[in-house]
Amino acid sequence: MEQQSNVSLFDLHGKTALITGGALGIGQASARRLAEAGAATMLVDINLEAARATAQDIQARGGRASALYGDVSEVHSIDAIIQTTVETFGSLDILVNNAGIYPFASVLEMTEAAWDQVLAINLKGAFFYAQKAAQQMIKAGRGGRIINISSINGLTPTRFLSHYDASKGGMIALNRTLALELGPHHINVNAIAPGEIITPGTSAASPETLEQAGVTDMNNSDFLQQIPLNRLGMPDDIARVVLFLASEAASYMAGSLLTVDGGYLLT
C-alpha cells in the first residue's frame, strides 16, 4: 500500500458529510472541521435558523454547506433528507450521528413520555440514520464512514439521567453491531464518548439541575480536579476526533470507541 502524506490523509475533498444536530455545539464544530478538510456538509437540526447560520459561516470561510430541518426521531423524514443531501452535493460519504437531548429526571419521577423522547432521539434516530445512510453508501459503491457521538454516560452513571445513560450505553453496543455488519461494505463505523463538554445545552443548565446531578459547578476547582487535564472540553476537542475518524488516517478502525474526556474516567 502506497504511503499517503499527512496532508492527503486528512483531505476530504469530494466527500459529503451529513451531521445531525449540526447547528450548534459539537455538531457545529464538527461541520466546521470537516468543511476545512474539504468536505461538503449538510447540517440537519430542529433549529433551522441556527443551522442556516452555521452553513453561511462555513460558506463565508470558503467551504460548502447547506442546512435542512430535521427531527431525528421522525424516521419517515430520513429518506428525503438523504436524497436532498445527495442531490445537493452529489454523494453521501460521512454520517455524524450527533443529535441528542438530556433532560434531567429522577428514576422515581421519570415519565414514559420523557423516556420515549430521549430514546427516540438519541438511539432510535441514530440507528435509522445509520441504516438509511448505509443503504445510500452501498448503492453508490463508494464505502463510507459513520461516526456515532455517544458519551461517557454510556460507561458510567449520572444521577437524574437514567434515560440518557441508557441511550448512550445502547449507542455503544449499537456501534459495534453496525461496524460488524457494515464493514464488509467498506463502511467504517466508530464512536466517540465525550466527557464534560461546554456546549449551549450544558451552559443553559440551571445550578439547581446541576446540583441534582451531583455537579455543583462544572467550573469550580473541586470538579476540575476530577479531570486529569484540569479543564472542561470544548466542542472542537470532539470535532478534531470526528475529523480523524472521517479521514483515511482511521481507515483500519471499525467498532472502536474513543473516549475524549480529559482523563475523567481515570479518576
Active site residues: 164
Q: What is the rounded CA–CA span in Å between residue 239 and residue 32?
A: 8
Written as nine digits, the cell of 228 is 486529569
